[in-house]
Amino acid sequence: MSDTGYIPPKVWEPKESGGKFASINRPVAGPTHDKELPVGKHPFQLYSLATPNGVKVTVLLEELLALGKDAEYDAWLIKIGDGDQFGSGFVEVNPNSKIPALMDRSGDKPIRVFESGSILLHLAEKFGAFLPSDPALRVETMNWLFWQMGSAPYLGGGFGHFYAYAPEKIEYAIDRFTMEAKRQLDVLDRRLAETRYLAGDEYTIADIAIWSWYGQLALGRLYDAAEFLDVESYENVQRWAKEIDARPAVQRGRMVNRTFGEPETQLHERHDASDFDTQTQDKIGG
Ligand SMILES: N[C@@H](CCC(=O)N[C@@H](CS)C(=O)NCC(=O)O)C(=O)O
Q: Write the single-letter amino acid at 195.
A: T
pLDDT at site 13 = 93
For the Cβ of 148 lying below 6 angstroms from any atom of ligand 1, the answer is no
Distance in Å, CA 98 to ligand 1 centroid? 4
Domain 1-130: state its class: alpha beta
Distance in Å, CA 110 to ligand 1 centroid? 22
Residue ranges per structural domain of the chain: 1-130, 135-253
Return the sign of the alpha-carbon dihedral for residues 88, 92, 98, 101.
Answer: negative
pLDDT tens track for 119-158:
999 999 999 999 999 999 999 999 999 999 999 999 999 9
- Per the CB < 8 A criterion, the answer to whether 177 and 154 are in contact is yes
Please indicate whether the domains covering 1-130 and 135-253 agree at the CATH topology level.
Answer: no
**93 by DSSP, 3-state: which?**
helix
CATH topology of domain 135-253: Glutathione S-transferase Yfyf (Class Pi); Chain A, domain 2 (1.20.1050)
- Residue of 51, 97, 98 best suited for mutating to test ligand 1, as the one with most atoms within 8 Å of CB: 98
CB atoms within 10 A of CB 63: 25
pLDDT tens track for 24-59:
889 999 999 999 999 999 999 999 999 999 999 999
Q: What is the model's pTM?
A: 0.97
Could you give phi then psi for residue 103, rounded to 5 degrees? -110, 120
